[in-house]
């Protein structure tokens, strides 16, 4: 089995805990050959974590000239994703960039253009699309048992207070850019073709920074479901991640469990519209109601090796490996990422939170 040789930029929470640890598990497919991090204390841990023989650099430009690297993982701070990815592609590297990819659709266009001009591959780490739960949920939606989908609510919320660099606008911080790419990727996928109408509300609730930690985004369009995306750090009673309303049923889910129920029209009593008051058999006023026969189902995530977060990361890298080695398809298209960034750009344009922290 061919091993793909990987360089990782950054050994923070993303570069080490998400990408690095995953490569150690999927070591038949991937081999980490170089680590870049400006912090010496992180480089000091490389041999212990990855084994001896991994090259260590303090600056990504020290990779320039190497031709033995199959792709570079760009897990640098968010505001550096665009300039560093452009630089890497201009020097001939295939690049996998962490989210948030960019601050504007124009920046995404620059990245796509650089990929084409340099004949290299460019990917965005939108691993939530590869979650087993999400794939199962889409099967249920596409089966039609829920009927026409009226509303999709996506809730990535909880209660938390933050004071790190990801709360600063100048570092591309805030809930929409930090956490938002996961639910917004699902929203874009579930919305389908076309650019939706967008309405956004933002607030600073429990943050020490100048970026939002409450964000509500409503997407809608002709013959499309209303999609309600909430990324809030002040929701103490967040019940589940997904709630889907359909004309013949509904669904609720988190990343480990899906519950859904639906009815079959032929099993219901035939009804017709009436304009006269409804009464009971004893002539008492009646409420318009019927007994519906519900079919209820449950899907539960079963994995002995991975948790729900590791599941989506593992699935993404299996897909990436098959693409690079066997020519398989990538589920997440750059055009969809561009639409996601365009939506988030419009959200920021609508809200325009004041900036009070210099970077």
C-alpha span between 89 and 117 (Å, rounded): 9
Please tell me whether residues 117 and 208 are part of one structural domain.
Answer: no
The neighbouring-strand residues paired with 32 are 6
User: What domain count does the chain have?
Assistant: 2
Please tell me whether residues 92 and 164 are part of one structural domain.
Answer: no
Does 333 map to a domain?
A: no
Please tell me whether residues 135 and 209 are part of one structural domain.
Answer: yes
Query: Which pLDDT value is given to residue 284?
Result: 87
Please tell me whether residues 139 and 229 are part of one structural domain.
Answer: yes
Query: Which pLDDT value is given to residue 305?
Result: 52
Query: Which pLDDT value is given to residue 279?
Result: 87
Convert the pLDDT of each residue in 93-112 to its tens digit.
999 999 999 999 999 999 99
| Residue ranges making up the domain that contains 21 | 4-125
Q: Angle CA(275)–CA(281)–CA(284) in degrees, nearest 5?
A: 70
Does 193 map to a domain?
A: yes
pTM across the whole model: 0.94
Residue that is last in its domain, among 125, 155, 178: 125
Residue that is last in its domain, among 69, 95, 125: 125
| Of residues 301, 305, 309, 255, the one with CA closest to residue 134 | 255
Please tell me whether residues 14 and 82 are part of one structural domain.
Answer: yes
C-alpha span between 92 and 250 (Å, rounded): 48
Please tell me whether residues 167 and 84 are part of one structural domain.
Answer: no
CATH number for the domain that contains residue 67: 3.40.50.720
Does 324 map to a domain?
A: no
DSSP E strands in the chain: the ranges are: 4-9, 30-36, 55-57, 71-74, 95-97, 122-124, 149-155, 197-203, 214-220, 226-232, 242-246, 249-253, 257-262, 295-300
Residue that is last in its domain, among 97, 125, 153: 125
Q: Hey, is 34 helix, strand or coil?
A: strand
| Full 3-state SS string of 195-225 | CCEEEEEEECCCECCCCCCEEEEEEECCCCC
Please tell me whether residues 94 and 172 are part of one structural domain.
Answer: no
pLDDT along the chain (359 residues), means of 10: 96 96 97 98 97 97 97 98 98 98 98 98 96 96 98 96 95 96 97 97 96 98 98 92 97 95 94 90 87 96 69 95 96 96 98 91
């Amino acid at each position: 089995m061919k091993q793909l040789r990987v360089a990782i930029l950054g050994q923070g929470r993303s570069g080490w805990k998400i990408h690095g640890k995953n490569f150690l598990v999927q070591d038949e497919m991937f081999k980490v050959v170089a680590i870049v991090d400006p912090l010496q204390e992180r480089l000091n841990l490389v041999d212990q974590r990855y084994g001896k023989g991994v090259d260590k650099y303090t600056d990504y430009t020290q990779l320039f000239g190497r031709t033995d690297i199959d792709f570079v993982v760009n897990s640098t701070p968010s505001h550096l994703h665009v300039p560093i990815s452009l630089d890497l592609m201009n020097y001939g590297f295939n690049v996998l960039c962490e989210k948030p990819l960019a601050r504007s659709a124009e920046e995404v266009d620059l990245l796509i253009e650089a990929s084409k001009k340099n004949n290299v591959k460019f990917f965005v780490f939108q691993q939530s699309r590869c979650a087993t739960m999400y794939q199962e949920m889409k099967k249920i939606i596409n089966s039609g048992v829920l009927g026409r989908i009226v509303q999709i609510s996506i809730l990535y919320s909880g209660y938390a207070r933050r004071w790190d660099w990801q709360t600063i606008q100048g570092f591309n911080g805030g809930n929409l850019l930090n956490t938002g790419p996961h639910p917004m990727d699902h929203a874009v996928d579930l919305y389908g073709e076309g650019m939706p109408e967008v309405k956004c509300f933002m607030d600073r609730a429990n943050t020490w920074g100048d970026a939002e930690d409450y964000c509500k985004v409503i997407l809608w369009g002709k013959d499309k479901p209303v999609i309600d995306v909430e990324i809030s750090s002040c929701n103490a009673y967040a019940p589940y991640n997904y709630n889907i309303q359909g004309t013949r049923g509904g669904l609720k889910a988190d990343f480990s469990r899906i519950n859904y129920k639906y009815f079959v029209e032929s099993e219901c009593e035939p009804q017709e519209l009436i304009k006269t008051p409804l009464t009971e058999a004893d002539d008492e006023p009646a409420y318009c109601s019927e007994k519906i026969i519900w079919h209820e189902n449950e899907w539960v995530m079963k994995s002995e090796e991975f948790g729900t977060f590791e599941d989506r990361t593992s699935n993404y890298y299996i897909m990436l490996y098959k693409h690079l080695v066997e020519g398989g398809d990538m589920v997440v298209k750059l055009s969809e990422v561009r639409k996601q960034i365009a939506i988030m750009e419009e959200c920021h344009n609508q809200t325009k939170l004041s900036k009070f922290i210099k970077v």
